[in-house]
Amino acid sequence: MTERIEGHGGELALAALRAHGVREMFTLSGGHVFPLYDAAHGSDFPIYDVRHEQSAVFAAEAVAKLQRRPGLAVLTAGPGVTNGISGMTSAFFNASPVLVLGGRAPAFRWGSGSLQEMDHLPLVAPVTKHAETVFSTDDIPRAVDAALTAALTPHRGPAFLDFPLETVFSISEAELPTVTGVGPVEPDPEEVGRAALLIAAAQRPVIIAGSDVYAGDAVAALREAAEALQVPVFTNGMGRGSLPPEHPLAFAKARRAALSGADVVVVVGTPLDFRLSFGDFGDAKVVHIVDAPSQRAGHVQPAAAPAGDLRLILSALADHSGDRADHTDWIADLRVAEDAARARDAAEMAAETDPIRPARIYGELRRVLARDAVTIGDGGDFVSYAGRYLEPAQPGTWLDPGPYGCLGTGMGYAMGARVSHPDRQICVLMGDGAAGFSLMDVESLVRQKLPVVIVVGNNGIWGLEKHPMRAMYGYDVAADLQPELRYDTVVSALGGAGETVAKAADLGPALQRAFDSGVPYLVNVLTDPTDAYPRSSNLA
């Protein structure tokens, strides 16, 4: 039974959004999109607003990533949309189902020079799965449904619609599309069988599981497959935490030993990109398991590449009934390497140095973070250390910017995480350089009562650029920031709170105060500018 609805363009859009389970919008005001606000206003559909459109799109992306449902950003015409493009591009690289609704100058006098009159589509089309201008009010519900269906269909990603002024302000009547949900993509059973045989026959197999395993709700199936075939599991992106760190097949630190010793590397739900040495694992055969045929790598010839619903593929691997090699010794060897690396890391995380090194910050954070805390990385070296020293205990608790590597996600991701999980700890790990992109949005968090903890690794430099530039040229330029800058007082001035920490012994109590404060709180940790993340050991 279809439902007919009547209202202005904003109301028609909102009805279709609700039907798809969208529950809130992130935005920065602009007259072109007032009807969308009017529809949400007073109708149990919260509007969160920000100080830069990048934060609105990043917030929507955090909702999409964490909750596996569409996130919504509403951006005004012209500069509102263009300010959101890095966010859309990040969502495109991360396969995050984000819908961006843009305002647009009136169509009826297009070409006459209206304010902000520009065609957004050529700019956003390359970084979205669906980009469309909706020219008629009664077409809005259909267009919203089509955009969200595209965003949610694996391989997922962002979608964009813009509404000319008269489209969204006019009143009309339309049918509300029935939302059926996106059905699973059936994998080719022969390709799955080939993958199962390769893994079962391997002497030294390894699984690397990435973001699409979480996005595709395939975490349980991953665990079943790994346990059934007895394969050690490494993770990246949103795949982190898929196996709890104490699981006998969960590995994080023995990656080098694993990838150099493996005879079959199974990469699930993540591209064979720079994070995975472009899929080149020496003599090892590669099995690449992807959620859609479009995700098969063009630059590598895997031995098998099943494409389709990851739950179906991983469950089929778990059910493999043929012979399998014994991996006990291989797992035991990797466990030795893992334990040795873990002991080295533990020593670094406890080190009492002056100035403080980032490792110690993470040592202290591990004591105060709950298992379900959401940690967000926005920065250079400081975030590489976070990836190394923090071990997410459950899936859906780790947000990094992904392979687009865009600085500035911090406050937007924090807002989306806080809205997604009102009762959890939300902790942003931020470089001092990264802080410059979004710290003003602390104001948005304060005003809308969205407390988060921000830990700044303040080395006074763009560390990830300064150290390599010095190594390459013997000097560096454009890589210095003000040393010992008081980012904490910036947050205090914006209505939050914070403190600067210079001594390792003061870290623990400061972090505790931050999490107890109930307001946006920045712990500004002065760190050693000579400390550079050892890139050569950063295989992924």
Ligand X SMILES: Cc1ncc(C[n+]2csc(CCOP(=O)(O)OP(=O)(O)O)c2C)c(N)n1
Q: What residues line the site for Mg ion (CB under 5 A)?
A: 431-433, 459, 463
Per rule CB under 6 A, count of chain residues that contact ligand X: 19
The whole-angstrom separation of Cα 290 and Cα 294 is 9
User: How many residues does this entry show for the chain?
Assistant: 540
Alpha-carbon separation of residue 210 from 270, 355, 467 (angstroms): 5, 35, 29
Closest residue to bound Mg ion by CB: 431
- What does 464 bind: ligand X, Mg ion, none (CB cut-off 5 to 8 Å by kind)? ligand X
The whole-angstrom separation of Cα 8 and Cα 247 is 54
Phi-psi domain of 489 (left: phi exceeds 0; alpha: psi -120 through 50; beta: other): alpha
CB closer to Mg ion out of 193 and 460: 460
Q: Decide: is 377 part of the binding site for ligand X (CB under 6 A).
A: no
- Please identify, among the stretches 134-142, 270-278, 319-327, 454-462, the one whose residues bind ligand X according to the rule CB under 6 A: 454-462
CB closer to ligand X out of 92 and 462: 462
For 329, counting Cβ atoms within 10 Å of its Cβ (0-12 exposed, 13-18 middle, 19+ buried), the class is exposed
Task: Give min distance, CB of 329 to ligand X, in A.
Answer: 39
CB closer to ligand X out of 210 and 463: 463
- What does 381 bind: Mg ion, ligand X, none (CB cut-off 5 to 8 Å by kind)? ligand X
Distance of CA 196 to the CA centre of its chain: 30
CB closer to ligand X out of 188 and 348: 348
CB closer to ligand X out of 449 and 535: 535
Q: For residue 192, what are its two tokens?
A: 């799955």
CB closer to ligand X out of 332 and 478: 478
Which residues face 133 on adjacent strands? 162
The whole-angstrom separation of Cα 115 and Cα 106 is 9
Give the count of beta carbons closer than 10 Å to the beta carbon of residue 394: 16
3-state secondary structure 401-431: CCCCCCCCCHHHHHHHHHHHCCCCCEEEEEE
Give the count of beta carbons closer than 10 Å to the beta carbon of residue 106: 17
Task: Give min distance, CB of 385 to ligand X, in A.
Answer: 8
Task: Give min distance, CB of 505 to Mg ion, in A.
Answer: 23
Task: Give min distance, CB of 221 to ligand X, in A.
Answer: 33
Half-sphere exposure of 126 (CA within 13 A, CB side): 4
Longest CA span, the chain = 74
* Sequence-ordered list of residues with C-beta below 8 angstroms from that of 51, at least 6 positions apart, any chain: 28, 440, 441, 443, 444
Q: Residues 88, 250, 254, 464: which binds ligand X (CB under 6 A)?
A: 464
Residues 378-437 that bind ligand X (CB under 6 A): 379-382, 405-408, 431-434
Task: Give min distance, CB of 462 to Mg ion, in A.
Answer: 6
- What does 465 bind: Mg ion, ligand X, none (CB cut-off 5 to 8 Å by kind)? ligand X
Task: Give min distance, CB of 465 to ligand X, in A.
Answer: 5
Task: Give min distance, CB of 490 to Mg ion, in A.
Answer: 15
Task: Give min distance, CB of 229 to ligand X, in A.
Answer: 37
3-state secondary structure 78-143: CHHHHHCHHHHHHHHHHCCCEEEEEEECCCCCCCCCCCCCCCCHHHHHHHCCEEEECCCHHHHHHH
- Please identify, among the stretches 111-119, 133-141, 215-223, 457-465, the one whose residues bind ligand X according to the rule CB under 6 A: 457-465
- What does 338 bind: Mg ion, ligand X, none (CB cut-off 5 to 8 Å by kind)? none
CB closer to ligand X out of 483 and 495: 483
CB closer to ligand X out of 305 and 525: 525
Give the count of beta carbons closer than 10 Å to the beta carbon of residue 2: 9
Binding mask of the shown chain, residues 305 to 344, with x at each position contacting ligand X by CB under 6 A = ----------------------------------------
Residue recorded with tokens 């049918």: 175
Task: Give min distance, CB of 540 to ligand X, in A.
Answer: 17
Q: Residues 70, 463, 496, 520: which binds ligand X (CB under 6 A)?
A: 463
Closest residue to bound ligand X by CB: 431
Q: Are 413 and 98 in contact (CB under 8 A)?
A: no
Q: Tell me which residues touch ligand X (CB under 6 A).
A: 379-382, 405-408, 431-434, 457, 459, 461-465
